[in-house]
Amino acid sequence: MSQIQYRRILLKISGEALAGEKHRGLDFAIVDQLCQSIKSCVSMGVQVGIVIGAGNFWRGVKDGADHMQRSHADAMGMLGTVMNAIAVADALCRHGMDARVLSAVEMNKFCEYFTRDTAERYLSEGKVVLFAGGTGNPYFSTDTGAVLRGVEIEADAILMAKNVDAIYSADPAKDPTAVRYSQLTYDEVLAKHLKATDLTAMTLAMDNDMTMICFGLAEENSILRVVQGESIGTTVKNKF
């Protein structure tokens, strides 16, 4: 299948997925594979925006729980997303692409400050844009940041590349009877209390009639396959 289903995407990648079996830091073999997948998409004319979590360095809610004030812990998480974005942007450039990091928090020494118009210009020029710093505020996850940026850039779809290959009724690693879903409406996700993303991200996507695909990053050519319209993982919409 060579037809492109989504011309502009917002790709959300979990930080843990970039760490691989080490679970911390960056596995550059995985980063290189990611870059090859993105390059395949870009070469076909797909405009790519990326949000990367920080779980391979720091998770504010989990790592700072009961030890730090929440806003401070979340600030550290935002810095972790900047670290990941800089690393992946560097790798993308080494693979022959032009990549720019736009941060929701001003840090001009390391990256540009995010504005919607700057992102639009870079995407239209064929550059890969990495959105760092989450929403720029504590108490919001990078999933919410990804949906927000996806809505702002008017993406055709939000691609949630996770460690799990789809949305399940329960954690499949803990519950062998967990049901795997191929399609869900946002109403179903919310009614069933499914842990695909946090509630704020799901509600924001639902309110803006955004298509979301949740799939496994580790699956071969998964990003390109989704962009081409292949049904992998779980697709979430308001209506089918």
Burial letters 92-123, b for 16+ CB under 10 A, else e: beebebebbbbbbbeeeeebbebeeeebeebb
Please give the average per-residue pLDDT across 161-184, as a whole number. Answer: 93
Q: Read off the pTM.
A: 0.94
* Cα–Cα distance for residue pair 26/51, rounded to 1 Å: 16
pLDDT digits (tens, 9 = 90+) for 54-66: 999 987 677 777 7
Name which of 12, 78, 86 is nearest 49 in CA terms: 12
Q: How confident is the model at residue 1 (pLDDT cuts 50, 70, 90)?
A: very low
Question: Tokens 């309110």, residue?
Answer: 207
Instruction: Give the pLDDT score at 2.
Output: 62
Name which of 183, 226, 187 is nearest 207 in CA terms: 187
Please give the average per-residue pLDDT across 124-141, as a whole number. Answer: 96
Going from N- to C-terminal start, the domains of the chain cover: 8-237
Report the percent of the chain where pLDDT is more than 90.
Answer: 85
125 has a pLDDT exceeding 60: yes
Of the options 3.40.50.11890, 1.25.40.10, 3.40.1160.10, 3.40.50.300, the CATH number for the domain spanning 8-237? 3.40.1160.10
What is the amino acid identity at position 195? K
C-alpha distance from residue 160 to each of 104, 108, 197 (Å): 20, 28, 9
Tokens of 233: 């993982």
* Cα–Cα distance for residue pair 47/170, rounded to 1 Å: 33
β-sheet bridge partners, residue 108: none
Report the percent of the chain where pLDDT is more than 70.
Answer: 99
Instruction: Give the pLDDT score at 41.
Output: 96
Instruction: Give the pLDDT score at 62.
Output: 74
Please give the average per-residue pLDDT across 45-49, as a whole number. Answer: 97
Name which of 102, 1, 33 is nearest 13 in CA terms: 33
Instruction: Give the pLDDT score at 137.
Output: 96
84 has a pLDDT exceeding 60: yes
* Cα–Cα distance for residue pair 77/15, rounded to 1 Å: 11
92 has a pLDDT exceeding 80: yes
How many Å from the N-terminal Cα to the C-terminal Cα in the chain? 21
Q: Residues in the chain, how many? A: 240
